[in-house]
Chains A and B, each alone.
Chain A
Amino acid sequence: MAQNDDRDNLTCQQAELLLAEYIEGALPAFERRGVDGHLTGCAACRASVEDMRLAFQVSRAAEMPEAPAGLVARILEQTSGIPETKLVPSWRTRMLERVGPFFRPLLEPFLEPRLVMGLAMTIVSFSLVLNMMGFDLRRLEWADLKPSNMYWSANRQMHLTSARVSKAYQDLRVVYEIQTQLQALRGEAPAEEPAAKPGSVEPKKENDTQPQPKTEGRPKQQNRTWSNEVRLLAAAMPILSLRRP
């Protein structure tokens, strides 16, 4: 074969490129024959190959010694600062150890911290939205998931929320004060003060001593527009007015 003829006539330089793998026994048969052919006729390369083979055999026979005792612990102390004995496997490692070798490859990609956090946030968001829509997740039934039921529930929850917000707003002290001020400006009696909360002490007002105009229950609902009321309030408190006095 032409290829073999070429290989039989290898130069020392050509043979050298193949010697590393020749020594390791990793050369393909036709290349090995080529090197063998060259070595038969080249005493210098033959002597060199003997030395190489000896070095290779002794090196490969050498066993890797164990690292000195305590080296790992010292490295860990130096780097992470945490002694080896105090290191606790992460939740991920513990979970993977529990599921066993069969499920481990299936579960492993899904236990990335970022993915788990994203999943947890999605669940929390959904549960918040459902909760706001009036679903009690602990007592959720299939019937609750019907579109008509969901619409009814969401609508009811919206009205309830709106009523709660409105009531909370009306109960605010500052709102009451503003309303009282407006009524006083309009020459009406203030509405009854909301009941004080338990434990709260209201300071005595100066105008408590002044005679109050007689009132009968809550003041009548006024039909004046909001802009009129703001104008009145601004006139009483110049600081609220944009115009200079």
Chain B
Amino acid sequence: MESDAILVGRCLAGDQAAWADLVKAHTRRIYYLCYRFTGKSAEAEDLTQDVFLRVYRTLSSFEGSQGSFATWLTSVTRNLLIDHYRKHKKERLVDPLEDQIGTLEETETFAASPATLVTHRETSEMLQGALQKLSPDLREAVVLRDLQEMEYAEIVQVLNVPEGTVKSRINRGRAALGKTLKRMMAGRAAGAGD
């Protein structure tokens, strides 16, 4: 597979096969990003299509000297996700955590590895649920770093904030996410014990 920069150049020269290669190379990642952000498969699918539609129209504005294509694509995705979030803000007002996991008290039962208590699928579902409880700022920072495994410098470019702010958001996001996961896991463990 050729590098993204070469593929972009060929796309701009009218090579449709190069565009297909670009779409194939990045669809999964963008879909995953959208899914982790929205929490809904159908919405993530629509957003992924919107992202590539926008990229197709604005591909000429991509400048390789200012960063990689993947980073630029993530920025475009992030902008669309923000628009989408604002549009659906009323529907998405974060419910109190207890609404989802009940009124279970946090217990000390979750001290072992999470993998020993729940299956992988359940962990993934819990992660998705817990991510939805984060504020958009913290969620996007955590998703970009821990789920997309982007470098700090790339996240700085995408979020357009200083590195210190990025790290601070990641820390706060991880701490909040960890707390939520602990509660959810404790709730499930208690439910399984009944």
Name A's B-contacting residues (CB within 8 A): 16-17, 19-21, 23, 48, 50-68, 71-72, 74-76, 78-80, 82, 84, 87-90, 92-93, 108, 112-113
The complex places the Cα of A68 from the Cα of B145 at a distance, in Å, of 23
Q: Tell me whether A59 and B146 are in contact (CB under 8 A).
A: yes
Q: Does B97 contact A (CB under 8 A)?
A: no
A-B residue pairs in contact (CB < 8 Å), sample of 30: A17-B167, A20-B171, A48-B171, A51-B175, A51-B182, A54-B181, A54-B182, A55-B142, A55-B146, A55-B175, A58-B123, A58-B181, A59-B142, A59-B147, A61-B120, A62-B127, A64-B32, A65-B35, A67-B27, A67-B32, A67-B48, A72-B23, A74-B49, A75-B27, A75-B48, A75-B52, A80-B56, A82-B16, A90-B15, A93-B18
Is B190's CB within 8 Å of the partner chain A?
Answer: no
Contact at B10–A92, with CB atoms within 8 Å? yes
10 residue pairs, one from A and one from B, having the closest CB atoms: A51-B178, A59-B146, A55-B177, A52-B174, A55-B178, A79-B56, A54-B178, A55-B174, A67-B31, A20-B167
Contact of A68 among B9, B18, B45 (CB under 8 A): B45
Taking A72-B20, A89-B17 as given, write out 6 further A-B residue pairs in contact, using a Cβ cutoff of 8 Å, ordered by the A residue number.
A16-B171, A21-B167, A50-B178, A54-B178, A61-B120, A75-B53
Give the distance in Å from the alpha carbon of A62 to the alpha carbon of B118 in the complex.
13
Whose C-beta in chain A lies nearest to the C-beta of B145? Answer: A20
Q: Which residues of A contact B29 (CB under 8 A)?
A: 64
User: When the two chains form their complex, are residues B52 and A56 in contact, meaning their CB atoms are under 8 A apart?
Assistant: no
Q: What class of interface size applies to chain B in its complex with A?
A: 35 or more
Interface on B for A, CB 8 Å cutoff? 2, 6, 9-10, 13, 15-20, 23-24, 27-29, 31-32, 35, 41, 45, 48-49, 52-53, 56, 113-115, 120, 123-124, 126-127, 130, 142, 145-147, 149, 164, 167-168, 170-171, 173-179, 181-182
Residues on the A chain within 8 Å of B19, using CB = 76, 79-80
Given contacts A71-B31, A72-B27, A113-B13, contact A52 B49 (CB under 8 A): no
Bound complex: CA of A54 vs CA of B181, how far in Å? 8
Task: Across the interface, name the chain B residue whose C-beta is closest to A16.
Answer: B171
A47–B92 Cα distance when bound, in Å, is 30
Residue of B nearest to A51 (CB): B178
A88, B24: Cα distance in complex, Å = 15
B49: chain A residues at CB < 8 Å are 71, 74-75, 78
Within 8 Å CB of A75, what residues of B?
A: 23, 27, 48-49, 52-53
A88–B16 CA distance with the chains assembled, in angstroms: 8
Smallest Cβ-Cβ distance to A94: which chain B residue: B17
A48 x B175 contact (CB < 8 A)? yes
Cα A146 to Cα B149 in complex, Å, equals 66
B55 to chain A, nearest CB (A): 8
- Give, as a whole number of angstroms, the nearest-CB distance from B80 to chain A: 14
A58 contacts B127, C-beta separation under 8 Å? yes
User: Given A20, A62, A65, A112, which contacts B123 in the complex, CB threshold below 8 Å?
Assistant: A62
